[in-house]
Structure 1
Amino acid sequence: MTADGAPAAVTPKPKEKGPACKLSTIINGQFVTVQLIGKGGYGVVYEVIRLNSPNTRYACKAELALAHNNLKTEWDLMTLLKDNKSKHNIIGVELGSERNFNYIIMHLVGPSLADLRKNMPNKTFSLYTTAVCGIQCYDSLVEIQKLGYIHRDVKPSNFAIGVLGTEEEKLVHVLDFGLCRNMFNKNKELRKPRMKAPFRGTIPYCSLNIHQRMEPGRHDDFWSLLYMMIEFHLSDLPWENMNKENTKKEKETKIDSLLARCPPEFQMIRCYLLTLTYSREPDYVKLRGVLCQVMTSKKFTSDMPLDWQIGGPHESIFKPMANALKHKGSKRKVNLSELLDLPKPGSKVYIDSDFPHPGEQEPPRDESVSKSDDTIIEKEGPPPAPKPNNTINLEQLLVLNR
């Protein structure tokens, strides 16, 4: 069977519905699946235990074994990030194949930022938590981009904190490298942008460039992060659940009114992103400085509790879950002050006039384009099927973990 689902031989074969990875499946004679964490169009994620050490728990991501092994791509990038001492990457344990599926065993993490937000009373984070998560998500994307890749599917469900009730509940991890793309060729030269790129990403969070089928660039990951932070601060985006065309129109017409309700730094980020193109490398220091200013302008400090932590505004919602799950986490210490690395007093303060508003800017120059795609095989056609919303109520999670 080919990657697009077509028969690989003259004799048709029945289409497989999913990987043969179920509850209590033994993997490579070493691991056994004990609980379903999530599932989607590509496969499933299970919590697994090591047979010879039942107290050691991991996550297993399993996908149908197709012609193109997406998990091998993920594994390679996870390994690169680990070798480069990434602070936000999940550590991979094993890559392999079993029956009709490929799998990765990796360290177990906690709930995604999407699940955390949706379990908040108003479906919003405090501004402090929004800023802390925004800075860490940004840093994780920069780690990827410094290796020559872009993520191309930046959204809240692709970021997760560590296990609740542990030190790692302060740490944000980046997930799912299945759509990552290397922007550089073997000679380390930036690839020419395609005239028309396949749609890759998730509709509510992708940039207008992606709607227009332009070649995804580094700045497009940060557009998605900006939409995420608006959602963290204001609740559901107005275009959630709309189709692609209506979402595009809403993004074009609603962005100003949304940003008017956000800290001024959000508008600064938007104005700066409008100056970038596919080939223009972002000023990573400047962008991070603006993000950090969301915290420093409000005199937030790294010793303040996040919304889900003990002492946080929604401690009562998450404390029972933290007590039930903390035995599954690592004993690793996390220093949030070092992670955030906020500017020292007296550092540059960014102001509105540092970032020309739309209409005041000279439009970015067009890029030279190529009809070819010399990176990976990407066929034109509909985007991959979206993963269903598998948000789990906190009470359900507690029942699962008893």
Structure 2
Amino acid sequence: MTSDESVPKPRFQKGDMIAGWKVVQKLGEGGFGMVVEVVNRHGLHAACKAEFYTGRRDNQLIKKEVPILRLMQWSKHFCKIHLAGQTTTDVNESLNVIVMTLVGEPLSRIRRQCPSQAFTRSTAVRLLKQCLEAIRDLHYTGYLHRDVKGGNFAWHEESRTVYLIDMGFVRQYIVWKDEEKTEVIKRPIRKKAHFLGTSRYVSLNVHLRKDQGRRDDLWGLVYLFVEFIKGKLPWHDDNDRVTTEKKAKIGSKLLKGCPVEMYKFYDHVRCLGVEDKPNYDLLMNILEKICARCDYRDEDRLDFERGGRYYEYIMDNKENISNSHETTSITGKGAQKYDDESDENNEETSVTDSGTTEESDAEESTN
């Protein structure tokens, strides 16, 4: 696969027009394209991802993302599409573009701005509820995310909603049985699968090169919640081999310091088979019980919101955050552009066995 560095990216200046949308500012770049904030003639601000159309299937990430987002327009946890398709630049360069909801900073970034780089329990539990809803909605549509981590959940300030972003590793687990498309079946489980995801957050199954199922996305939520509470995971600075060993040995000790109800959450995820359907209602009820016992209310301010416990702390320290590099995640209203080094060193990048950022068709079809 072509490396990210060798693929040319579109370049835009403030005031440039992209299919009727005016560029406001650059938000980030990476992968195969550019992300900019745009505004239409009605004053609606949105995010625009753009990549050169090359005709090659292996680096058309936007074309892969659009069909999935179209299927998810019913869910409040996914970006709404304003425009998607191909357009041309002033010099007749072909682009794939998608204009969609402008969301805020990723949860990983927000967490690291808090004292001890951790949320309070109240914020952690309420964020996990929304993350679980997002994963559940994606699963209901027949897809696995396969890269669950704080960097792939973003906060939308105005609606107070968590958005699940970055569909680059999404894979169907429900497929049509035949060409007539009269019946759907579960996709056959591969005997051996390529490593895909982010080492810190993938399940032990992924480290062991087992095929991923819905359970593996939920393991990502377990690890994400522990990180919300503690600021880092026990294998935060470890290589893949040590991380695998620690995940295999730690068991429920991982949850030390977490609400006691989370042990039931953990046990349910631990007992799921690769093809099993999680009991999402059970998991949500566990989180609701924590909220009821501790009097956590959805309408209460989260740590990082105006009036929240850490809001003033975050505002006072934001000027110290380096903005020398930018990531590919979409920033938005009330957010800042953020540096690539910080995210990469603290969260790790998503990879496959070969170090690329997307599986090829051959890898996807391996059984």
Given that residues 135 and 145 in structure 2 are in contact (C-alpha distance below 8 angstroms), is that contact kept between their aligned partners in structure 1? yes
Shift, 1:27, TM fit: 4.7
2:129 matched to which residue of 1? 135
Shift, 1:255, TM fit: 4.7
Given that residues 144 and 171 in structure 2 are in contact (C-alpha distance below 8 angstroms), is that contact kept between their aligned partners in structure 1? yes
Q: Partner of 2:115: helix, strand, or coil?
A: coil
2:63 matched to which residue of 1? 72
Please state if 1:58 is matched with 2:46: yes
Q: 1:93 aligns with which of 56, 76, 82?
A: 82
Q: CA-atom RMSD, angstroms?
A: 2.6
* Offset from partner CA, 1:264-322 (integer Å, 9 cap, x none): 22222221112111111111211111122221221222232111223210121456899
Please state if 1:302 is matched with 2:304: no
Give the Cα separation in 1 of the matches to 2:10 and 2:126: 39
Q: Partner of 1:185: helix, strand, or coil?
A: strand
Q: Partner of 2:116: helix, strand, or coil?
A: coil
* Offset from partner CA, 1:45-100 (integer Å, 9 cap, x none): 221223x34x4211112335352233223211211111xx2121110111133436
Shift, 1:123, TM fit: 0.5
Give unmatched runs, 5+ long, in structure 1.
7-14, 330-379, 387-402
**Aligned residue-pair number:** 313
Give the Cα separation in 1 of the matches to 2:317 and 2:80: 24
Give the Cα separation in 2 of the matches to 1:22 and 1:189: 44
Q: Partner of 1:247: helix, strand, or coil?
A: helix
Given that residues 114 and 314 in structure 2 are in contact (C-alpha distance below 8 angstroms), is that contact kept between their aligned partners in structure 1? no
Give the Cα separation in 2 of the matches to 1:18 and 1:248: 36
- The one-letter amino acid of 2:302's match is L
- The one-letter amino acid of 1:145's match is H
Shift, 1:24, TM fit: 3.3
Please state if 1:32 is matched with 2:26: no
> Within 5 Å, which residues of 2 pair with 1:133-212?
133-163=127-157, 166=158, 168=159, 170-186=160-176, 187-212=183-208
Shift, 1:155, TM fit: 0.7
1:111 matched to which residue of 2? 105
Given that residues 19 and 100 in structure 1 are in contact (C-alpha distance below 8 angstroms), is that contact kept between their aligned partners in structure 2? no
- The one-letter amino acid of 2:298's match is S
TM-score, normalised to structure 2, is 0.78
Please state if 1:282 is matched with 2:278: yes
Q: Partner of 1:122: helix, strand, or coil?
A: helix
TM-score, normalised to structure 1, is 0.72
Give the Cα separation in 2 of the matches to 1:307 and 1:161: 13
Runs of 4+ residues over 4 Å off in structure 1: 318-322
Give the Cα separation in 1 of the matches to 2:162 and 2:192: 33
Identity across matched positions, percent: 29
Give unmatched runs, 5+ long, in structure 2.
177-182, 319-331, 335-351, 359-367
Shift, 1:26, TM fit: 3.2
1:122 matched to which residue of 2? 116
Which of 137-146 and 275-284 deviates more?
Answer: 275-284
* Offset from partner CA, 1:225-253 (integer Å, 9 cap, x none): 11000000000223224322222122223
Shift, 1:40, TM fit: 2.9
1:335 matched to which residue of 2? none
